[in-house]
Each structure stands twice: as structure tokens, then as C-alpha cells.
Chain A
Amino acid sequence: MTKALLLVGVGGQGTILASKILSEGLVKLGYDVKMSEIHGMAQRGGSVTTQIKFGKKVYSPVIGVAEADAIVAFEKVEAARYLYQLKKGGTLVINDHEIYPLPVLTGQEEYPGDINENLQKQVEKVKVLNANKIAEGLGNTKAQNIVLLGTVIKALGLEELDWIAVLKEYIPPKFYELNIKALEAGMSL
């Protein structure tokens, strides 16, 4: 059975790197994998998504409405934006972190105040964490994407792989320590 995973966030949050590491790990676990990303204009502070599908044989790389087994939202409001793609009974991981879009910054639109509560009311399996705070505690808030990667690995039950080895293929040695800690922190939650 093919599993579909959607990572959503804001340009610059490192969703693509997390997706690459995850996809590579899934290949090592023996799955057929397709990963699809959209970049270009949206990169400039816009809403970004990457889609990962894995299973025995994967055809389409695209995830449609109510097709994602899990959604990982690197930013809170993005969880609400892409909720329609979550399969009923699927898992929602929310990074309790806010990045205000420009219309909110300039006061034209409002940033909703009760996102987590609202989503928790609807979705059974919700996991909320503040990956930015965790990463900050480890020395650099930028490692929040790796914290979230760890959380997803655990949520999908994929802990048996040596993820640190995969991580090292994608990260320069001077950031090994920080990111290994971030990964472990994410996996321990």
C-alpha cells in the first residue's frame, strides 16, 4: 500500500532538505519512492509544499484531496491551509511556530489565534511541538526542520534505519552535532 506524506511550510524553512533526507532513507528501507516539490516564484516567502509517496510501486508523485496519510506543517497556519489534503484518520504534525504572511504583517488580514485547538477538535491524531524552540535550545533555531524530520520518522514508525548516516550525506560536517541532536530530539518526542 502506498503511503503519502505532505510537508508544508514557508519558503526558507528547509522543508525540501527534510524531504530529501526522508526520501533517501525510504529508498534505503527498500521502498519505491517519489518525491515532488514545487519551487520558483513561491520560494519568495510564499507557501511551499513537498510531497513524498512510498510503497512497493509508486506511480503518480502528486497527492490530491484527502489523500495524505500524514501532514507535517512546519508553520502553524499552513497546517490549516493544507488540511483538506489529509486523509480521514490521518496524522497531523504541527510545528507550533508562527510566520506572519505579508497581508498579516501589514494588517490587511488576520492571523488566526486558535489554530491548534481548532485542528485538534477535528483531527484525532494531532501532534503539536515547537521545533523552533527545541532547535534553539540545541544551539540554532535553523535545525527546526531536522527536529520535525525526527518527529515524522517516529510518527511513521521508521526508526529502525540508521537515520544519522543518511543525515550525514546531506549536511556539512561542522553541523553534524547540532543536527544529530535535533534528529534525536525529534525522534524522542
Chain B
Amino acid sequence: MKKLMTGNEAIARGVYEAGCTVAAAYPGTPSTEILENVAKYEGIYSEWSPNEKVALEVASGASIAGARSLAAMKHVGLNVAADPFFTMAYEGVNGGFVIVTADDPGTHSSQNEQDNRYYAPHAKVILIEPADSQECKDFVKNAFELSEKYDSPVLLRVTTRICHSKGLVELGEREEVGVKEYKKDTKKYAMTPANAKVRHIIVEEKLNKLREYTNSCPLNRIEWGDKKIGIITSGISYQHSKEVFGENASYLKLGLTYPLPNEMILKFAQTVDEVYIVEENDPYLESYIKSLGIDCKGKELIPICGELNPGIIKNAFFPEEKAEAYEAEIKVPSRPPVLCAGCPHRGLFYALSKYKDIVVSGDIGCYTLGLMPPLSVTDSVICMGASISAGIGFEKAFMQGGTKKKVFSCIGDSTFFHSGITGLIDAVYNKSKISIVIMDNRITAMTGHQENPGTGKTLRGEETTIIDIEKIVVAVGIKQENIRTVDPYNLEETQRAVKEAYEAQEPFVIITKRPCALIKKVQKARTGIYCVFDDEKCKKCKACLKIGCPAISFKGGQITIDGDMCNGCGICQQVCKFNAITKVGE
């Protein structure tokens, strides 16, 4: 049976068919749907871990214990999980161990464009790159087999266009491999310096065997066409190349990309007239192939930055054939992402926007949008959890330089559990005077509403203990008098807490607690509640436009509120000094 599946759905199917029994992940675009789909299959324990390091460690332990295990994450997630990742290369596996890294060329939904293929040679693990949904499923199964055969974790690298593109997939049956027996073996699984010395030698021996094997590995294949042009490529770049050149080129299509197949590459290069490397982002293949002494072209033609597509390849190779395109003769307004109508983050950002001598250290999530106009509150965004720790750095530097600015750190609930807690500990331990806002919208929102340790539900929908953010804050040592829990729909309460935080001389925490407006239950409960606008009372001061709500517009000299979009959060009503806005339906 063939089914139309995204790459992520196909990876999940492969995980199921391979008999995997333990899977863990932290949500992150474009990887999120892998675990969401794995969780739908019977026979696999699957969890949302608090962060990627935890996910990779859960899967590591499960592999050592004998289960075929999976950890999935977005590219920057592997940075968080890099520590166990590197050492697991030394420890090897018992049950097969596959780590998925979902890279994001074009930064559709990420803070950088890192090319995670480099992690494979750096950590000395096997690297596999599927090029479509069918290969996603098949290669996952190959990955588990290779992992067990070579006693090594396998890194399966996909990209946004692989993850989120649908293609036809032939489904198979699940292989019931069970869980292998666990035998205590501290020389292999307890990585002390003495053991590591020995294991490093074993890793190098394994790699040498893999260097032999990769030349005959069916994941690497040559497709002969016209031999004037020889293209060496992998992943989605293969599809783009094939579309452009069709039969007018020969291809060395690489699926096992670490270690790379020297003999195969040399043979291919000798048979074709000219060698071109077509790859997205960094010259990972090119650098290696050039090191073999092969004369080839790559990054002279194909850009390092941004997402690749057939058009870019076409223009690089055949600039004279540039297709004529239509050009709109009108000025198209920009459409940046915005905080939704009714977003609970709006009240807090509005309150912060009134202070001009503050710095706001932001974080990763919907609330990153606090940096967008008209709120324009946020100063910096680095990575998951950095809001608090970087905020401490801001504050210490301002202190050293004599700058009088108050520092606020804004972090979401899921991000706080991910890696904000350690920053909070630092703030208390090192007597920082920052004010921290934990924007608790009761869900992991940006990636599409995943459960997290604060929601009381697991990935599989089971009830569980709700981790109480306020209790963590108290336990870490923030004084009770320096904690405020507020409803961000209540602007007065929120503004009061922000004022106290602004004046505080000790670490101060505000928890804004209000579920995301897009949660289905919330939407249902608020159906029929919306704000209406009275033009007679309106003085055209436009204060309501300063909250950046997409439901409020100023058309033809008049304010209007889109009642369909509005959920009656009432922030605009509280901002209006002339009582021109009223709420109905409550």
C-alpha cells in the first residue's frame, strides 16, 4: 500500500517498522511531527522530554538497556544535546540508536542556518541523508541495522523540505525485534578517562571498517546519464539537481555521507568529464572531495546561504536561459508574523513598552515576536533559555560600565523548563538584580501546541503531575515578596507587577498565567466574546493601535475591530481612555 506522507510521518513509520521501542524528543520546527506521529503507534514508549539533551540521554540509556531507540530534534537542539551525543559515539549501542537532526536551510523557523552534517565527523558517528519521504522510511530502518552492526549511534539528517514535503511511501510491516538483553559492561558504558582512551581506539577501528563498507553500501548509488557532467549530491539537493539535469548528467547520489565512499567518488570522478558538487548550505561534501585531490566545482556556483531550489541551480549552470517572470507593478505591503488576536503575551509586552530605560532579553517562542513593531520591546534573542542568563550578563556589564538600565528577561513556560531554570539559579546564586517574566501560556505554542512539564499531560495524552513553576521559583530561592503571579489579560494588575519589578533591587519574578488563545478548549470557551467599538466616543488617539492587535485596524480614518478574529481579551478596552471599546458576550 502506498500512502502520501511527509518526511516526518515517514520517519515515524520507519521507526515503527524497525521495531523501535523507546523514542524521545523536544518539539522544534521542522522536527516536531516526528514524535507526534511516533506516539500514534502502539508498542513504542514515546515522550516529550524537557529538552533535547534529556531526550538524547533517555534514548541513550534505552539503547544501552537493549531497546532500539530514537531521539529527534531540530538542528539547534543537537547543540543542546551535543554532550551525550559525542560520548555515545564512544560507548556505542546495545539496541540500535538513531538520532534525527532536522536542519532548516532558509531559516524558515530558526535562529541560524547551521549545517549539522559536520556533527558526524566531529563526533565520529555514522551519517545518513534521505532525499524524499520513501527514503526517510527506508533509511531509518537501514540506520537501526547499521547502528547495531557497527555498534555506533547513527545521525539521520533531514532538512525542512524533506520533513514538510509529502511524497508517496510504500508501507511495510513492523519487525518485532523486542528488547535485547542488558549485560553490565562498565568498560563500554562507563566513560571514565581510562575507558575512554580504549574506546577511542575502538571508534577509530569501527570507522575504518565503515570506510570500506560505505563503497558498497546500497544507500550510495551511481545513476549514469550523460557523462559530460557528473553531479555529486545528497538529500534534497539530489531532487533539485535531477529536476534540472534529468538524463543530461550522471549522478553520484550519496545516502551514507559519513564516512564518505572514497573509491566510489574516485571512480565516478574518473568516468565523467567534469565534477560538480550540488549541496545546500556548507561545502561539506566539496571540502572532503577536494581533499581526495579531485578537481571539482561547488560553491563557486551554488550559494552557501539560504535554501536551495531548482531555479538557483538552473541559473548557476545555464544563466543564459533565465525564465521571464511577471513583476507586480504595485507596492506589496509586508506581512510579518504577529502575536495573534487575544494572545496572552500582549498585555505584558504592552506594559513593558511604557519603559524606555529597560533592556529586554528575549527567548525562543511565540513571544520572540515581542520585538516586532509596534510593541518593539525585545532587545536580544539568542537561543533556548538564554533570556535569563544573557539578561544576567547585560546587568553585570551595565553595572561594570555604570549604565543605569533595568534588565528584564522574558521566557515562556516550555522554554523555562527546557533551559531557563539554570539561569534562574544563577540569578539567585550570583545576586543578580534582573527581573524575570515567565510567560506561562500553558502549552508549547509556537511549534503547534505540544504538552510540556507544566501542562499535566504527556505526549500520549496521559494525565501526569503538573510541575508548578511558582514552586520552582520559590525553591530556587526567589523571595516570596519578589514573586507576582498575574493574569496578563488584566492590564492594571500586569502593569503594577511590572512597576514593582522595575523598582526591585533583588531578583524578581513575574509569572503571567493565561492559556494560549489558540488552544481549542480556550477558543471554544471564548466563542461569542468580542470587543465592539463606538465611533462616537472615539477621539482618534490611536492608543488601541499601539498594542499591535491584528483584529484592530484603522481604515479610512476610522477604527474597526474584527469581531471574528477578536476573542475579547480586553487589552484594547483597558488601553482606551474614552470608553470607546466595550466587551460583549461575556
Contact = CB atoms under 8 A, between A and B. Distances in A.
Contact of A61 (B29, B167, B324, B336): B167
A29 B552 CA distance: 44
A35 interface: yes
Given A80-B328, A105-B553, A66 B323 contact: yes
Nearest to B545: A106
Contact of B447 (A40, A78, A100): A40
B548 interface: yes
B334 A105 contact: no
Q: Is the interface of A mostly helix, strand, loop or mixed?
A: mixed
Q: Is the interface of B mostly helix, strand, loop or mixed?
A: loop
A137 interface: no
B338 A84 contact: no
Given A41-B337, A59-B239, A118 B331 contact: no
B134 to A, nearest CB: 11
B333 A110 contact: yes
Interface residues of B, number: 61
A103 B336 CA distance: 8
Interface in A61-77: 61-67, 77
A41 B324 contact: no
Interface stretch (B212-220, B305-313, B353-361): B305-313
A33 B167 contact: yes
Interface stretch (A43-51, A151-159, A177-185): A43-51
Contacts of A173: none
A45 B518 CA distance: 12
Interface stretch (B157-165, B188-196, B269-277, B292-300): B157-165
B331 A84 contact: no
Interface of B: 2, 4, 29-30, 108-109, 132, 160-161, 164-168, 236, 239-240, 242-243, 307, 309-312, 314, 323-340, 366, 368-369, 372-374, 446-448, 542, 545, 548, 550, 552-555, 564
A152 B548 CA distance: 35
Interface residues of A, number: 63
Nearest to A41: B109
Interface of A: 10-11, 20, 23-24, 27, 32-47, 58-67, 77-78, 80-81, 83-88, 100-112, 114-115, 118-119, 121-123, 141
A86 B326 contact: yes
Contacts of A35: 4, 165-166
B551 to A, nearest CB: 9
B500 to A, nearest CB: 30
B311 A61 contact: no
Contact of A65 (B167, B311, B329): B311
B309 A60 contact: yes
A101 B336 contact: yes
Contact of B240 (A11, A60, A103): A60
Given A60-B240, A66-B325, A80 B311 contact: no
A80 B335 CA distance: 13
Nearest to B551: A105
A84 B167 contact: no
B108 A104 contact: no
A10 B336 CA distance: 10
A65 B331 contact: no
A40 B309 contact: no
Contact of B325 (A20, A33, A84, A112): A84
Central interface residue in B242, B338, B340, B548, by most chain A CB within 10 Å: B338
A110 B542 CA distance: 17
Contacts of B309: 60, 62-64
Contacts of A60: 236, 239-240, 242-243, 309-310
B278 to A, nearest CB: 12
Contacts of B166: 20, 23, 33-36, 61
Given A41-B337, A44-B337, A106-B545, 18 more contacts: A23-B4, A23-B166, A36-B161, A36-B164, A38-B164, A40-B108, A41-B446, A45-B337, A45-B550, A58-B167, A59-B240, A62-B240, A87-B323, A88-B325, A101-B336, A105-B554, A109-B334, A112-B332
Given A34-B167, A107-B554, A115-B330, A44 B323 contact: no
A109 B331 CA distance: 10
Contact of A108 (B310, B335, B340, B373): B373
A-B complex: 9 closest residue pairs judged by Cβ atoms: A64-B311, A40-B109, A40-B29, A46-B337, A101-B335, A66-B325, A61-B165, A66-B323, A44-B337
26 contacts: A27-B168, A35-B4, A37-B165, A39-B164, A40-B29, A40-B108, A44-B338, A45-B340, A59-B242, A61-B167, A64-B309, A65-B325, A87-B323, A88-B326, A102-B372, A105-B550, A105-B553, A105-B554, A107-B554, A108-B373, A111-B333, A112-B330, A112-B331, A114-B330, A119-B328, A121-B329
Nearest to B310: A60
B329 A122 contact: yes
A118 B167 contact: no
B108 A38 contact: yes
Given A60-B240, A66-B323, A80-B328, A103 B334 contact: yes
Contacts of A32: 168
Contacts of B311: 64-65, 67
Contacts of A47: 335
Contacts of A24: 4
Contacts of A61: 161, 165-167, 239
Contacts of A118: 328-330
Contacts of A80: 328, 330, 332
A64 B548 CA distance: 33
Central interface residue in B132, B325, B332, B340, by most chain A CB within 10 Å: B332
A45 B554 CA distance: 18
B519 to A, nearest CB: 15
A122 B328 CA distance: 8
A83 to B, nearest CB: 5
Nearest to A2: B243
B161 A102 contact: no
Contacts of B332: 77, 80-81, 112
A186 to B, nearest CB: 21
A45 B4 CA distance: 28
Contacts of B374: 106
Nearest to A42: B337
A110 B331 contact: yes
Nearest to A48: B335
A44 B342 CA distance: 12
B108 A42 contact: yes
Contact of A102 (B236, B307, B336): B336
B513 to A, nearest CB: 21
A43 B309 CA distance: 22
Contacts of A63: 309
